Structure 1
Amino acid sequence: MEEQHPWTRYVAIGDSFTEGIGDPEPDSPGGNRGWADRVAEVLGHNKDDFAYANLAIRGRLLNQVQAEQLEPALELKPDLISVSAGGNDIIRPGSDPDEVAARVDTLVAGLRRDGATVILFTGPDIGMTPVLSRMRGKVAIYNENIRAIAQRHDAVVADMWSLRELADPRMWAPDRLHFSPVGHHTVARMVLNALNVANELEPFKPEPLPPRRWRRARVEDMGWAREHFMPWVLRRIRHQSSGDNITAKRPGF
């Protein structure tokens, strides 16, 4: 399918979500594919002059994205920029979704400086997750701010909150914090739809999972907490990041 859209230079910025964590692919730069790579693959189909860069780094907070990725992104002269930042701030104890959104507003104003189309993301509905569900109200408030920011700056909203498919456990990686390959694929389809770009990505229609016995489910939850959740908590206590010493996987065109 030959895609008809106006963009030729796409830059993705943000954190682990945009880096593609949870979607391992040894043949991709950095060893992860992710939704942004998948979107770029469709946008670049039959466009010899299409260019794509991905500056996102796992663990980055909003201020770090602003300080480290804004100017390098603009220097690439993109006409399309996706930004997903602030999620790592929102899930921290004591964070204020209105204050985080105010900083997102400043970031988006900078990204729109040269007239590029900007894609913003709402956070997914985390009500079904075992630990993050308590932050659902904060995410909902943050999302309403994101929609207002998008309207103010004429940006495109990629609405993960309304993506009901994300309630399926198979959409999530084993750490339950990042998307699986199927999850990234689903997000890519949603982003392309938000951009009104026709594509041939097949929708994922999961069949219901068979019910798990209580004991097995509890053992799996304990294993997840030991392997994924506790290390995440310890990094927060020690002020460490999973992105320490990590560089962007696609720093330029």
Structure 2
Amino acid sequence: MTTLYAEESDPLCLPVQNAAWLAHAPWRRFAAMGDSLAAGTHGPSRGYADLGWCDRLAGLLRRVRPDLAYLNTAAVGATVAGTLDGQLGRIAEFGPDLLHVSCGANDLWRREPDLAATERDLRRLFAGAAATGALLTTFTLGRAFVVPRFPDWSDRVRALNDVIRALAAEHDAVLADMWDHPVNDRPGLLSADGVHFSAEGQAVMAAELVRGLARRKDRDER
């Protein structure tokens, strides 16, 4: 039998009162940049607030920091090179102390993607993000979305995820590893476009980042 969840009862989500996980969070300027993953592009899910992960996280942070400044420059279809050229400058000018970076999926859509070039550009992007002085966060791509016309799609995503994991470790970023997360097995996870996580998936991604940020806050307070 398929289990249907609602946000309040979803074991992979955090109830609203668990904003307390981020009590005394130090971050006052939250930004996100990259592609549609960073933008929180999604479709609706019954029983879940119609919000992307990024707006969810900003809302939770505002519960403990009502004066939080929030900027999201992410754009649907953005490549890593496009993010470097069109978004990084705006982010640096904003001056975040918490910065999310998600990009690279659109670089995989080419008939013959240049993974070496994508890795070089991602290294530049993460270095530029780290230069802001902000704590970085990022996601790996989930396995739920496949592109049938690319038989090697899963291999492409695994290769990109390996780069993201390495860069997250290099820059001490908070990583929400979504590749093999159990949410991938849920029916109806993808939006009607067949590409992006629905509001249900967005809620789970936000929860994973909250958990990661709470762990980081606890680590830094020791």
- Range of TM-score over shorter length: 0.7 to 0.9
Q: Aligned partners of 2:94, 2:215: CA distance in 1, in Å?
A: 23
Shift of 1:23: 3.6
Shift of 1:184: 0.9
Q: Aligned partners of 2:30, 2:86: CA distance in 1, in Å?
A: 18
2:185 aligned to which of 147, 152, 167: 167
- Residues 1:104 and 2:122 are matched in the alignment: yes
Shift of 1:67: 0.7
Structure 1, unaligned stretches of length 5 or more? 25-31, 199-253
- Residues 1:67 and 2:67 are matched in the alignment: no
Structure 2 counterpart SS, 1:119: strand
TM-score with structure 1 setting the length: 0.69
Superposed, 1:1-253 pairs within 5 Å as 1=17, 2=20, 3-23=23-43, 33-126=51-144, 129=146, 131=148, 134-196=152-214
State the match for 2:10 in structure 1: none
Q: Aligned partners of 2:205, 2:214: CA distance in 1, in Å?
A: 14
Task: Spell out structure 1 runs of 4+ moving beyond 6 A.
Answer: none
CA gap of 1:130–1:87, structure 2 versus 1, over 3 A, is closer
Q: Aligned partners of 1:181, 1:164: CA distance in 2, in Å?
A: 16
CA gap of 1:162–1:194, structure 2 versus 1, over 3 A, is farther
Shift of 1:114: 2.8
Shift of 1:197: 6.3
CA gap of 1:193–1:173, structure 2 versus 1, over 3 A, is same
Between stretches 101-110 and 166-175, larger displacement belongs to 166-175
Q: Aligned partners of 1:90, 1:6: CA distance in 2, in Å?
A: 36
Aligned-partner residue type, residue 107 of structure 2 = D
Structure 1 counterpart SS, 2:99: strand
Structure 2, unaligned stretches of length 5 or more? 1-16, 45-49, 217-222
CA contact (8 A) 2:146 2:153 kept: no
Q: Aligned partners of 1:182, 1:105: CA distance in 2, in Å?
A: 31
CA contact (8 A) 2:104 2:160 kept: no
Q: Aligned partners of 1:37, 1:137: CA distance in 2, in Å?
A: 31
Aligned residue pairs, count: 191
Shift of 1:193: 1.5
Aligned-partner residue type, residue 6 of structure 1 = P
Aligned-partner residue type, residue 192 of structure 1 = V
Give the fraction of aligned pairs with identical amino acids, expressed as a percent.
Answer: 33
Q: Please provide the CA RMSD for this pair.
A: 2.2
Q: Aligned partners of 2:30, 2:151: CA distance in 1, in Å?
A: 33
CA contact (8 A) 2:28 2:68 kept: yes
> In terms of Rg, which structure is larger?
1
